[in-house]
Structure 1
């Protein structure tokens, strides 16, 4: 008798879509999109459900591999498991309609999150897009293009295969104190299409390193629900180093 090898079938996206598609679980995943671990009680508030209900939803997300759990004493904290989960959420956000704004508080948050926010572990929103534009304009990064590539509907003529860190760019960023990974399984640079701006911002190890350094310099402050605030020192520093005027 000849043994046969069972070949896996096509991807069953319905399983993941069902996990993400329930409104409370979707709220949990959006709350965790900045890469930080949050307590179940915090996630219950974000989702607008009771403690017992959030436990059930979190258990399903953990079983599905989208969220991991960490225990500290009596408390349990949850975070997104890996970058692919965050990328999938961002991709869905580009397709999804916006929540209706029904209060001044919601409107203020909606504007703040479009101005500057975290996308998993890197900078996004108008500030994230402006930073990537500045890095390319200043030749800190250059775009590798191939003649055979078809036009990209977002980036324009020539599909951007990847962003390459130039030698001068490496020196400039090291001078600013950015820790550039020299050996990592994670790509150094990768672009992520911003759901609110519909243009790319910088992801990858370098995107994360830039966010970490800008926070360390006191130029950015990570707020609640993924919002990033620019300090007065940040306004000056971003203008001086990258020519970015974030406005009011």
Structure 2
């Protein structure tokens, strides 16, 4: 059994104790791979500064590096790291009010609906989670768990719950805008992937925000009883 020392934990925590590195990790919660240049522009730092910070995050195990030809990409190391970053974000103080209309619009879109690594979050994620609970597909009594009806519901939708390998089938993830748990784990990931593939949701802007389409409103209303007004 491996024992974590105080110095080891402090060193790991220090990786996020920098505004630029924290901004990188938050951006990578969209589940996609980014180049160093893209992250540098996002955080408004020089490419050399971005490379230095990315090296520390990769070495510390928060990110993993992928190469495709001459291009270097980075992404969050795994779903566990994404879960950690989202939960830490949810436990921070409320952000300052945006200073521009563009920033306010982007923040509103993120709060309305977004992806959290590979599952749905924001008011959309909470609405889906609550609806699944009301329908008896998900129980929250002793942590999140799918019911028999929930497993059957996934099967009838043609969604493979055995595709997640060693990942937890279901787990809660504390939503950083709603301050309530939404559905994560394999069940959350395959549902999010299906929502995007079926175009129930579409990505908007350069952030993680998603918008529910009219087809998505109909599907979520019919399948889960989600009120259409709550998705807008």
Question: TM-score by structure 2 length?
Answer: 0.90
Aligned mate of 1:83, from 53, 75, 79: 79
Aligned mate of 1:115, from 103, 112, 115: 112
In structure 2, relative to structure 1, the CA distance for the partners of 1:222 and 1:19 (3 Å cut) is same
SS at match of 2:82: helix
Aligned to 1:61: 57
4+ runs deviating over 3 angstroms: 6-12
Q: Indicate the larger mover: 118-127 or 85-94.
A: 85-94
TM alignment of 1:128-167, pairs within 5 A: 128-143=125-140, 145=141, 160-166=142-148
SS at match of 2:162: coil
1:219 touches 1:237 (CA, 8 Å); kept in 2? yes
2:164 touches 2:186 (CA, 8 Å); kept in 1? no
How far residue 237 of structure 1 moved from its aligned partner, in angstroms, is 1.2
The CA distance in 2 between the partners of 1:64 and 1:47, in whole Å, is 20
Unpaired segments ≥5 residues, structure 2: none
The CA distance in 2 between the partners of 1:45 and 1:8, in whole Å, is 35
Indicate the structure (1 or 2) with the bigger Cα radius of gyration: 1
How far residue 12 of structure 1 moved from its aligned partner, in angstroms, is 3.2
Aligned to 2:98: 101
1:163 touches 1:191 (CA, 8 Å); kept in 2? no
How far residue 185 of structure 1 moved from its aligned partner, in angstroms, is 1.5
Q: Indicate the larger mover: 187-196 or 91-100.
A: 91-100
Structure in which a larger fraction of residues adopt helix? 2
The CA distance in 2 between the partners of 1:93 and 1:218, in whole Å, is 28
In structure 2, relative to structure 1, the CA distance for the partners of 1:217 and 1:184 (3 Å cut) is same
The CA distance in 1 between the partners of 2:109 and 2:170, in whole Å, is 26
Instruction: Give the aligned length.
Output: 227
Aligned to 2:192: 211
1:69 touches 1:79 (CA, 8 Å); kept in 2? yes
Q: Which has the higher contact order (CA 8 A, sep 6+)?
A: 2
The CA distance in 2 between the partners of 1:72 and 1:36, in whole Å, is 14
The CA distance in 2 between the partners of 1:7 and 1:123, in whole Å, is 34
2:110 touches 2:208 (CA, 8 Å); kept in 1? yes
Question: TM-score by structure 1 length?
Answer: 0.85
1:186 paired to 2:186: no
How far residue 16 of structure 1 moved from its aligned partner, in angstroms, is 2.0
1:232 paired to 2:232: no
The CA distance in 1 between the partners of 2:35 and 2:132, in whole Å, is 36
The CA distance in 2 between the partners of 1:136 and 1:236, in whole Å, is 19
Aligned to 1:195: 176
Q: Indicate the larger mover: 68-77 or 181-190.
A: 181-190
How far residue 116 of structure 1 moved from its aligned partner, in angstroms, is 0.7
Deviations 1:118-172 (A, max 9, x none): 11111111110111111111111234x4xxxxxxxxxxxxxx2331332x32222
Aligned mate of 1:176, from 143, 157, 161: 157
2:203 touches 2:209 (CA, 8 Å); kept in 1? yes
